[in-house]
Chains A and B, each alone.
Chain A
Amino acid sequence: MKMVDNLIRTSMQEYEEYLRDESRLAGTAQSISFPKDENEILEILAALSQDKIPITVQGARTGIAGGAAPESGHILNLNKMDQILGLRYDENLKTFLLKVQTGVLLSEIREALLKKTFAVSNWSQKSLDALELLKNSRTYFFSPDPTETSASIGGMVACNASGARSFKYGSTRKHIEALRIILVDGDTIFVRRGEHKTQGRSFIVKTESGRTIEGNVPKYMMPNVKNASGYYVEDDMDLVDVFIGCEGTLGIITEIDLRLLPHPKYIYCLTTFFTSEDKALKYIRAVREKEEKPASIEYFNHKALNLLREQKKSKPAFSDILDMPDHFHTAVYVEYHGDLEEAVTNMILEASKAIVACGGREEDTWLALNTQTMQQLHAFRHAVPESVNLLIDERRKTEPNLTKLGTDMAVPDEQLEEIIDLYNTCLQKEGLDSVTFGHIGNNHVHVNILPRNQDDYAKGKSLYTKWASEVIKMGGTVSAEHGIGKMKKTLLKEMLGEEGINEMKALKALFDVDFRLNPGNLF
């Protein structure tokens, strides 16, 4: 008991920042803990179980859907579970697998892999041998990149995070081999891809204490788009996939086996400016249908470019952005990866043909052949959301309650032009200020509505709901990468229906009978 008293802290006024995440949604909690290992988690769970106290799991709190903001009860913050535990080479997968604790940050994983340097004092001989092999091999990397590198790996798994390069490499899900999960009752399960599967939609899983958990995953069909809304399901699926993207509602992820990829030897990046949106959209279709897929396809509409032009004039921080002549209307960024210079050069030449065929000009391009220029193009990309935040901060000086309204919806490939047209028409009709940018390769753009006053804000909110309904009708998703959290629950219900939500709840009840874990998330 003494031990637990040290672990669970109740002086919440000292921990006020932990009541929020990056969504700025703030909640309340009565206690918080920072366990360092599984044993400490078990002690904490045992103490909390007496009064059936609800628990909110936290990673690095960079989530933007409110998933890590508590409603009440206890905050289980996993930042201190920050060890990289080991490495192995898998002969079947022909790659390295890195075993990490949940709280390790994406930036730490990246740095360690780039330098091939790890804190190895607790590593097994097998891991050390694998490290020797890694050191003598080319560079390997973990591809998911939700731009915010201070995210924890557990948070990324819980949200199935993705980023620009997910167009080629897929979301976090594709790079997870196995998970160790502590259930709210203190039992533990381990699920490995290929080993633990459902039969149709039914499954049986054994816990470490020998108990079997048996039941069904929901029956709904997943939209055929990039998606981070609700439990992932399909027939004969890997159980590990149910836990990836469950937003912490099924169990507490403690250890994760990550699949690494060989880092491409050549990365060429290309920003192309078109004189109209139509031409840009044609080009997007052309490049994504080529045999050699780009690693990413990103989009900036003319309002995004105009905002950058404005910021460049007035803010020294943006003065390094290169001049964009007036005829630069819409921009598309693509990135090509490969191991042979000739192959990547050919990809650029193919893209070049598409540019000309779609009415663009080879002169109106920025091509990065080395890391420095690539960083310049990436800085250009980051400057768009940064500018949006600056603009909103300025407007909040006179209208403190304003926030931006950012969408995260995706539609199937066929509906690309239709969805862009819908966004444009509605925004124009309502006379709203906005910028649109993002992962257009997956028909997944972020429309950022920039309200000037409360009236705009109300109009923006109702547009948001209207778009969600239209996107659902098109067979799309209400959240493609940020997750549902506590902020998009009504949209999820609209997407999956009452029955879908009930099936999700039934699955949750198998792992968390009293609904104590992450209350308020998803439903």
Chain B
Amino acid sequence: MNIIVCVKQVPDTTEVKMNPETNTIIREGVESVVNPFDAFAIEEGLKIKDVYGGKVTALSMGIPDAVQMLKEILALGVDDAVLLSDRKFAGADSLATAYALSLGVKKINDFDLIICGKQATDGDTAQVGPSLAEKLGISHCTYVSHIEEIGSDYIRVKKLVDDGYEIIELSLPAVITVEKGINRPRIPSIKHFKNALEKEVLIWTTADVAADSQLIGLSGSPTQVVRTFIPQYNKEIQILEGTPDQQAKDLMEKLAAENFLGCE
């Protein structure tokens, strides 16, 4: 079973601060980390490899700095790491990101399953996984909280939905995006650290993956960011007084007055 795990480098969210004037994330002095959801994706890949054998390859698109992150991922026991890095990839929205990743996947070629995080903690759209599956023309399932079973040509997963879960079977190859808590990510061991020291992170440019310049980076990104802002909620708190009966009656009246009860 050969697995590709998509990993994004993000700013450490415990540290995120917004610039109040531009409403953009202040990145200076903030440590970069593996997108927390992707740590679960890596662990899930390694767990499958522990049982079924095969290979796990980490794939990321990002700045050259992300090599350090990928080296640390190799020390977890991941077999290979690829970084798509080129100025021409910069400014990608989720569509252009999925396109670039799909080229990386095609160049890696030999895979049965792609695992993504549910979402990235900075961009937060949760679109890249499904878009990638569409670009590759394979099936996908989001919000996976457990892998139930893996067969020779299918995978059965538990998908979280609002009021419960669904069990979904996908034919392989497929893309799944995983929830936090699907597993408990391991810590590197010296054994894998030493293996990782022998390995190089592969860096692929736009030319290496023969990218169509119209589909990558800014020019490949139809998303226009008009404005980003921190939402303001106008909350108001009223405290009802009186006997419990009186309070219940007041509450019903107020809810009815605001049309919360669906009747006049």
> A: which residues have CB within 8 A of B?
270, 320, 322-323, 345, 348-349, 351-352, 355, 362-373, 376-377
Contact = CB atoms under 8 A, between A and B. Distances in A.
Contacts of B189: 362-367
B255 interface: no
B72 A369 contact: yes
Contacts of A352: 190, 194
A152 B50 CA distance: 49
A367 B33 contact: no
Contacts of A362: 189-191, 194
Interface residues on B, range: 10 to 19
Contacts of A369: 72, 75, 188, 193
Contact of B184 (A320, A349, A366, A367): A320
A368 B193 CA distance: 10
Contacts of B12: 371-372
A373 B33 contact: no
A351 B194 CA distance: 12
A386 B31 CA distance: 29
21 contacts: A322-B186, A322-B187, A323-B184, A345-B197, A348-B193, A349-B194, A355-B190, A362-B194, A364-B189, A365-B191, A367-B75, A367-B188, A367-B190, A367-B193, A368-B188, A369-B75, A371-B31, A372-B12, A373-B188, A376-B187, A377-B187
A348 B190 contact: yes
Nearest to B197: A345
Contacts of B184: 320, 322-323
A365 B190 CA distance: 6
A367 B31 contact: no
A367 to B, nearest CB: 5
A364 B189 CA distance: 7
A12 B184 CA distance: 51
A372 B186 contact: no
Contacts of B186: 322
Interface in B189-225: 189-191, 193-194, 197
Contacts of A323: 184
Most buried by B among A345, A352, A365: A365
A187 B259 CA distance: 75
A377 B197 CA distance: 22
B8 to A, nearest CB: 15
A355 B191 CA distance: 11
Contacts of A366: 187-189
Contacts of B191: 362-363, 365
Q: Which of B72, B189, B197 has the most chain A CB atoms closer than 10 A to its own CB? A: B189
User: What 5 A-B pairs have minimum CB-CB distances, sorted nearest first?
Assistant: A362-B191, A366-B187, A362-B190, A367-B188, A365-B190
Interface string B34-72: 000000000000000000000000000000000000001
Given A320-B184, A322-B184, A370 B33 contact: yes
A373 B188 CA distance: 9
A355 B193 CA distance: 14
A372 B12 CA distance: 9
Contacts of A351: 190
A323 B190 CA distance: 17
B187 A367 contact: yes
Given A348-B190, A365-B190, A370 B72 contact: yes
A355 to B, nearest CB: 7
Nearest to B184: A322
A365 B77 CA distance: 13
Nearest to B186: A322
B67 to A, nearest CB: 12
A352 B191 CA distance: 9
Given A355-B190, A362-B189, A369-B72, 4 more contacts: A320-B184, A348-B190, A363-B191, A365-B189
A270 B187 contact: no
A352 B194 CA distance: 10
A354 to B, nearest CB: 11
Contacts of B31: 371
Contacts of A365: 189-191
A373 B187 contact: yes
A369 B73 CA distance: 10
A350 to B, nearest CB: 11
Contacts of B194: 349, 352, 362
Interface string B11-37: 010000000000000000001010000
Contacts of B72: 369-370
Nearest to A321: B184
B68 to A, nearest CB: 9
A270 B190 contact: yes
B232 to A, nearest CB: 28
A370 B75 CA distance: 12
B109 to A, nearest CB: 30
A130 B134 CA distance: 57
B59 to A, nearest CB: 20
A362 B189 CA distance: 7
Interface in B170-184: 184
Nearest to A369: B72
Nearest to A370: B72
Contacts of A371: 12, 31
Nearest to B69: A370
A377 B189 CA distance: 13
